[in-house]
A and B are shown apart, each in its own frame.
Chain A
Amino acid sequence: MNFKLRLWRQKDRTSPGSFQEVEAHGISPDMSFLEMLDEVNNDMIRAGSEPVAFESDCREGICGTCSLVVEGLPHGPDKGTTVCQLFMRRFLDGQTISVEPWRAKAFPILKDLVADRAAFDDIIAAGGFISAKTGSAPDANGLPVPKKDADTAMDAAACIGCGACVAACPNASAMLFVAAKVSHLGHLPQGQPERERRVVRMVSKMDEAGFGNCSNRYECEAACPKEISVEHIARMNRDYGVSSLFGSERVRAEGGAG
């Protein structure tokens, strides 16, 4: 298969970027989108030009490193799929495909298709953890968790932190990511001691990082490769209101891990 690619090229954080038109030749329909880009990069290297920078790690849809906006859709046109698991057979031979990085003020572009998602790490460090004693593992049945809660927590824990929710949101809001983390730990007994602190601090970190506000358009849910539900956002809204207005401790926004 052959494709005409429009790849976003940007030298660094501050330089303005633009599209570069590149031809991809002899692509197998069974290649993933990233393997196709590897081929294109090989051609560029052979031709002596600079290859396009993009991120990936596991290439099996579980790590959340890959992050491309393909034809205006974060992770491409498939539902519940990361772009590393998107295959070229999904496209038409000869099709023109635009590839852009995640765009958000809180995710500055480092180079080409690579955006800096450290803001997510800061949010996690602000409260996305539990305090547990180290030592030998406790007995698995020692701490009963209702099946329903375990399921909901698992659904939320499926979040791989890729940031597609931010990329898809018309307001570049990080609500789905933060909600997934808050809801995941909030559903488990181990998450209870820090429950109030967690939601307040994570939300305040999120606001501080410059993400937009949620306007309930649900683009995030549709773009999420793990199909995490906006129900978690409602739960976080509830938790946040209750914890900051009626919480048993006076949580200060600052502080976090360590």
Chain B
Amino acid sequence: MNPIAAYFRSSIGRKQLMGLSGIYLYIFLLIHLVGNIGLLMGPEHFNQYGYLLTHTLREIIIPIEFSLLAAFLLHLGLGFKLAAENRAARPERYAVKASKARSGAYRGWMMLTGSWLLLFVIVHMPHFRFGAYRVAPIANYDGLEMNDLYAEALRSFANPWFTGFYLLSFALLFTHLAHGVQSSLQSLGVNHPRYNTGFRRFSWAYAVVICGGFAALAVWAHFQGKI
């Protein structure tokens, strides 16, 4: 087999692709979060930001969106494939199972939390990315008409079930990132005794910032929408 093809079929090659696509997705999350903070600056700012992405910068944003979709599908496809292989690698389970490692159980939940996040994306994308054109009311700034995403966000988050679903998803995203960020680095071979504690802390800190940020905004929108 051609060495490059062999790489993409090997266990390590696919783990490295998982890691790289994961890194791409978590960098996107940070940008997404920064954009969402615009909610705090009021409807005009936030809606203009949405307009900027969907109209003014359309030619740049659409290819980026496709690359994100590709990374997402790759990450998810490989995740399911690797998990299935891992199950098959031990057909008969241990009757008694214990552990000497002091790593949290959440590290074993990647499949579970990942599947939930897939569900989340299936709910979230049609709503705020595509559905907004249909459901969102129209705002008008100096004669420029655009979707009032701000109003739509506040209206949606006023529903406690909706907010609850988002908060639960962020909590699961948290455990996914807490293991994933560090794991992706290890798969790519970034491991050095001098920096390992730093990586572990970074992994946690990143998860705290991302999930805490999104969750805080969801709670804010919930109470803002109610009033």
By a beta-carbon cutoff of 8 Å, the part of chain A in contact with chain B is 8, 19, 69, 71-73, 77, 79, 98, 100, 103-106, 168, 170-173, 200, 203-204, 206-207, 210-219, 221-223, 230-231, 233-241, 244-245, 247, 250-253
Contact = CB atoms under 8 A, between A and B. Distances in A.
Given A98-B95, A237-B189, A241-B7, 19 more contacts: A72-B98, A104-B90, A105-B91, A168-B100, A173-B11, A214-B11, A218-B101, A233-B186, A233-B191, A234-B190, A237-B16, A237-B187, A240-B12, A241-B13, A241-B188, A244-B3, A244-B4, A244-B7, A252-B3
Nearest to A109: B92
Given A170-B108, A171-B90, A222-B102, A213 B15 contact: yes
Given A207-B10, A218-B101, A234-B190, A241 B16 contact: yes
A119 B186 CA distance: 25
B144 interface: no
B100 A172 contact: no
Which 8 A-B pairs have CB atoms at the shortest separation, nearest pair first? Answer: A238-B189, A234-B191, A212-B89, A72-B98, A171-B86, A222-B101, A72-B96, A222-B100
Contact of B98 (A71, A212, A236): A71
Contact of A212 (B90, B97, B100): B90
Contacts of A173: 11, 86, 89
Given A222-B102, A234-B189, A215 B183 contact: yes
B76 to A, nearest CB: 15
B93 A103 contact: yes
B90 A103 contact: yes
Nearest to A106: B89
B124 interface: no
Contact of B110 (A207, A215, A253): A215
A44 to B, nearest CB: 21
9 contacts: A71-B96, A105-B89, A200-B6, A203-B12, A215-B82, A235-B189, A236-B12, A247-B3, A253-B1
B89 A100 contact: no
Given A215-B86, A215-B110, A234-B189, A244 B13 contact: yes
A206 B92 CA distance: 20
B94 interface: yes
Among A100, A206, A217, residue most surrounded by chain B Cβ atoms (within 10 Å): A217
Contact of A213 (B86, B98, B99, B186): B86
Contacts of A250: 3
Contacts of B88: 105, 210, 212
A69 B94 contact: yes
A214 B187 contact: yes
Interface string B157-195: 000000000000000000000010011001111111100
B11 A203 contact: yes
Nearest to B191: A234
Contact of A219 (B89, B100, B189): B100
Contacts of A172: 86, 89-90
B182 A216 contact: yes
A139 to B, nearest CB: 33
Contacts of B98: 71-73
Given A234-B186, A241-B16, A253-B1, A98 B96 contact: yes
